[in-house]
């Protein structure tokens, strides 16, 4: 049962959030309406509707604040909130150290053996030593 105990546990936002100004929303809206009108003039109203819906969804996601995600590394695998990824389903990893001058945080990058699963980019806690995470991951996966 000692294998189930997380060696590392931390929380972070699911993505980096950038505040958008009202000018950004105006620009997106004007471009979307202009493209929709152009597509309707060219005889493609369905594409115009798709552009307007896409612009609306883009604006909605730009306003949404990111959720906090809990990450755990244990001897059996990686847990992201309630989803568990066993090491046998993962191919390799890489730990970036980040750069405080460029406001980049350290990240754990993990590739999966599943063809439809993208590369996972897991932000590390600023208080964690990336080399400790790397040493732990080397026990289970190859580094690429």
> In which band, very low, low, confident or very high, does the pLDDT at 23 lie, cut at 50, 70 and 90?
very high
- Alpha-carbon distance of 118 to 110, in angstroms, equals 9
Q: If you average pLDDT over every residue of the chain, what do you get? A: 87
Q: What are phi and psi of 142, to 5 degrees?
A: -85, 155
Note the pTM of the prediction, 2 decimals: 0.70
Q: Once rounded to an integer, what is the mean pLDDT over residues 25-30?
A: 96
**pLDDT value of residue 1:** 42
- Number of Cβ within 10 Å of residue 97's Cβ equals 14
To which H or E segment does residue 138 belong? helix 130-138
Q: Provide, rounded to the nearest whole percent, the portion of the chain with pLDDT above 70.
A: 92
> In which band, very low, low, confident or very high, does the pLDDT at 2 lie, cut at 50, 70 and 90?
very low
User: 121 has which bridge partners?
Assistant: 109
Q: Is the pLDDT of residue 105 over 60?
A: yes
Residue-wise pLDDT for 31-80, tens only, equals 999 999 999 999 999 999 999 999 999 999 999 988 898 998 888 888 98
3-state helix, strand, coil in the chain (%, to 5): 40, 30, 30
Which region among 36-45, 86-95, 111-120 has the lowest average model confidence (pLDDT)? 111-120
Looking at residue 7, the DSSP 8-state letter turns out to be S
């Amino acid at each position: 049962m000692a294998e189930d105990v997380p060696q590392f546990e931390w929380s972070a936002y699911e993505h980096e959030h950038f505040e958008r100004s009202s000018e950004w929303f105006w620009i997106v809206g004007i471009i979307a309406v202009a493209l929709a009108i152009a597509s309707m003039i060219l005889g493609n109203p369905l594409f115009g509707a798709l552009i307007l819906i896409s612009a609306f969804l883009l604006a909605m996601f730009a306003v949404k604040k990111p959720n906090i995600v809990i990450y755990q590394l244990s001897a059996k695998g990686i847990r992201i909130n309630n989803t568990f990824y066993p090491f046998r389903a993962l191919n390799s990893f890489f730990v970036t150290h980040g750069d405080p001058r460029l406001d980049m945080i350290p990240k754990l990058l993990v590739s999966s053996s599943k063809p439809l699963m993208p590369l996972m980019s897991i932000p590390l806690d600023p208080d964690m030593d990336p080399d400790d995470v790397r040493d732990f991951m080397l026990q289970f996966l190859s580094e690429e």
